[in-house]
Amino acid sequence: QVDNLTSVGIKGAYINSTQTLDTIKEILLEASMGEFKIIYVSPERLESKIFIDMVRDLNISQIAIDEAHCVSQWGHDFRRSYLSIKKFYEILKSNPVISAFTATATQEVRADSIKLLGLRHPYIYKGDINRENLRLTVLKEVDKLEELKDILRENEGESGIVYCASRKEVDSLYYYLKDLGYNVGKYHGGLKDEEKERFQDDFLYERIDIIVATNAFGMGIDKSNIRYVVHFTLPQNIESYYQEIGRGGRDGELCKCYLFYSES
């Protein structure tokens, strides 16, 4: 996301676990001088007292919380560190505007998130859940590998994601497709940070067409021309499914979504 901002002339930065403390200090020093419009951090960073001490005096005008459903245990992707956000902004001297965004929140999750994030009488905007350019197809499992190859042939040269349930399944399918000559990468939580970054960049900058991944792939991925999304195994729930197919067709053009289904 920072790369995309930079390419259109907006000065952004990110802070994550791959950076040294000296690098983080340098970024925050530049931020204190007004060098950046926006800084991306993960909520896990808010559990570090050192980090909080470094940013509490910054002039922060807004905090935007992405994937806001993660604060709620009723949500499909609960992350405990999201609970630190409210405590964080309450100690800031700048009294920023708070905004929260998510593509999937049931009424229960929405109410829970508002409460846990400490939003007071927020303005609530609900978009239309129906994206007409996503074409959903459910395929009954017969020979999944053959059917997957048919899908890949039908969408040859286009960007696509194949979601799997486990790291083991991702690795197995990745090597299978690679051996067949497909231009493919993989992504899951067991990869080293540099491997994740390499495969992610290769996909974003179209050095590879296909990424085989667990649901760890996708948050923060803003690639407009994903033309198909395959769920090789059933996702955990309907919210996860909606999040994952929502990464397709962001340019408004057709994206084909395939879901393999087995009665077992």
Query: Per-residue pLDDT tens for 200-220?
Result: 999 999 999 999 999 888 766
Q: Which residue has the higher pLDDT, 219 or 148?
A: 148
Confidence of residue 129 (pLDDT cuts 50, 70, 90): confident
Beta-strand ranges (E) seen in the chain are 12-15, 38-41, 62-65, 97-100, 134-140, 159-163, 184-187, 210-213, 226-231, 255-261
| Residue 116 predicted with pLDDT over 90 | yes
Tokens representing residue 172 in the block: 């197995």
Encode burial over 139-170: b for 16+ CB neighbours within 10 A, e otherwise. beeeeeeebbeebbeebeeebbbbbbeebebb
pLDDT value at residue 220 = 61
pLDDT value at residue 219 = 63
Predicted TM-score (pTM) of the model is 0.76
Mean pLDDT for the stretch of residues 5-30 = 91
Q: Which residue has the higher pLDDT, 173 or 78?
A: 173
pLDDT value at residue 1 = 83
Distance CA(52)–CA(45), nearest Å, equals 8
Confidence of residue 31 (pLDDT cuts 50, 70, 90): very high
Give tens-digit pLDDT for 42-51. 899 998 888 8
Mean pLDDT for the stretch of residues 66-78 = 87
Confidence of residue 264 (pLDDT cuts 50, 70, 90): confident
